Amino acid sequence: MLGRTANSLFWMFRYLERAENTARLIDAGLRMALTRDSVSAEEEWRSVIETAGHRRGYEAKNATYTGMQAWNYILRDKDSSASVLNTFQQIRSNAREARSAITSEVWEAVNDSWLQIKDMLARPVGEQRVGEVLTAVRRAGTLAHGAVLGSMLREEGFHFARAGTFIERADNIARIMDIKYYLLLPSLSYVGSSMDTGQWDMVLRSVSGDSAYRWLNAGQIDARGIVSFLVLDERFPRSLAYSHAALRENLAALARIHGIEGTSNELMRESDTRLSGLSIEDVFDKGLHQFLTDFTAANSSIAQAIAQDYRFLA
């Protein structure tokens, strides 16, 4: 496969994952705003904008934080390269670049979603429509992943697509946790009274982990439980541990296909060594914020090493 095509596949799925996570984040914000007073709702949208990495662009155009402004900015601002609309533009043009390396099923899933979402985002999104827009964005991911799993050869292309997915997922989850890390300090759960279960619920919702968490923990919400769920629980497909376990498999498969291990495999092993046997106490001892910073940095060096190992760029 061409290095450029591998690059397109990798980024196509990074962007897809990013769009999907952004939709989850807005969804969680929406829910918070509906169950809060207006002051904390404003705070919530500020935090959503911050987490999605849009603060500077948003504040250049808006003086206040309201839900309508916030989600319209994140979803469809033309000048923001990270808006969901522009992200989908990127997904589709990467899909076109890689058109001869993806199946018709994958192409049609992505192209259909693009046509639908472009249409939905052609005009401002009001309260009545925001729910269906977010559903459409999440469904775009579901459809594309389903098409990939069901139709693509387990060859290089498949593994580049999956590697892109898990690199981006790990990055996004770590960022969401880091923005809210102060909520997840263990001391708060000892203090007890100031514990804001609504906020924690928001963190879980923004990674679609609320019901999974409740199922596993019988409704008991505390910092320890949530952090250990999001960082260490390999059963949860949006945990850091799961994302990296999956990534490790894709990178191992690539090394097998190529008959040689590269820097990406080496860095992956180092990351595994750091994560395996890690207990929740270790995370808190190190400091959650520090842990997440280190993790994000390691994650992005793996991404760079993949690009290098497989000649994404000339």
Residues that bind another protein (CB under 8 A): 1-6, 93, 96-97, 99-100, 104, 107-108, 111-112, 115, 156, 258, 310-311, 314
Residue with tokens 């827009």: 133
26/121 with CB nearer another protein: 121
Structure tokens at 36: 């809060």
Residue with tokens 């949530």: 226
Nearest approach in angstroms of CB 90 to another protein is 12
Residue 124 Rama label (left phi>0; alpha psi -120 to 50; beta): beta
| CA neighbor of 72 nearest in space, from 142, 121, 33 | 121
Nearest approach in angstroms of CB 144 to another protein is 14
CB 143 within 8 A of CB 113: yes
Nearest approach in angstroms of CB 118 to another protein is 11
Residue with tokens 């505390």: 222
Nearest approach in angstroms of CB 35 to another protein is 40
30/306 with CB nearer another protein: 306
2/68 with CB nearer another protein: 2
84/110 with CB nearer another protein: 110
Nearest approach in angstroms of CB 5 to another protein is 8
> DSSP label at 221?
-
150/198 with CB nearer another protein: 150
Rounded to 5°, angle at Cα 11 from 267 and 264: 15
C-alpha separations of 12 from 153, 161, 262, 284, 291 in Å: 17, 7, 23, 35, 28
